Amino acid sequence: MSYNVFGDGLDAEREEQHPGYAVGGTLIAKRLGMEELGANLYVLPPDNAQAPYHWHHNVEEALLVLVGEPTLRTPDGMQRLGPGDFVAFLRGESGAHKLTNETSEPVRYVIFPTRPAIDVVEYPDSQKVGFGSRGRRWRIVRDESPLDYWDGE
């Protein structure tokens, strides 16, 4: 099986929309039966971001820009990317990232995430933590009032 990231149609298997956040994509790896490595093709409309600024505890990701010029925010600052740019997001705070399209044209790119059984994601701007396991509902909590280990027992 194969999938052409330039020629095959984009099926919005995953589409998120919130003011300032809109992206449609095709879960390529899932279509091809891959389990350990993901490959997700996305189209990011102008004046939108893919996701809030975040970093993963257990997932490494790589980004390959196919078309357009997105702006990437990392702990090192802001950077304009272009077609052919390949960027790695390592596990931990050093891999924090947010991709935004500040241009008037759509951006097309592929993200390659590893797929561990369990992941924890931190959102430093909003002080939230998301966690979950493959195939299960994700939970997102705000890191405001930590509970004692025995709370509710």
pLDDT in tens, 81-138: 999 999 999 999 999 999 999 999 999 999 999 999 999 999 999 999 999 997 788 8
Band of the pLDDT at 149, cuts 50, 70, 90?
Answer: confident
> CA 23 to CA 80: how far, in whole Å?
19
Burial code of 52-74, b = ≥16 C-beta within 10 A, e = fewer?
Answer: bbbbbbebebbbbbbebebbbbb
Q: How far apart are CA 15 and CA 85, in angstroms?
A: 24
Instruction: Judge: domain 14-116, CATH 2.60.120.10.
Output: yes
CB 109 within 8 A of CB 51: no
How many Å apart are CA 1 and CA 20, to the nearest integer?
35
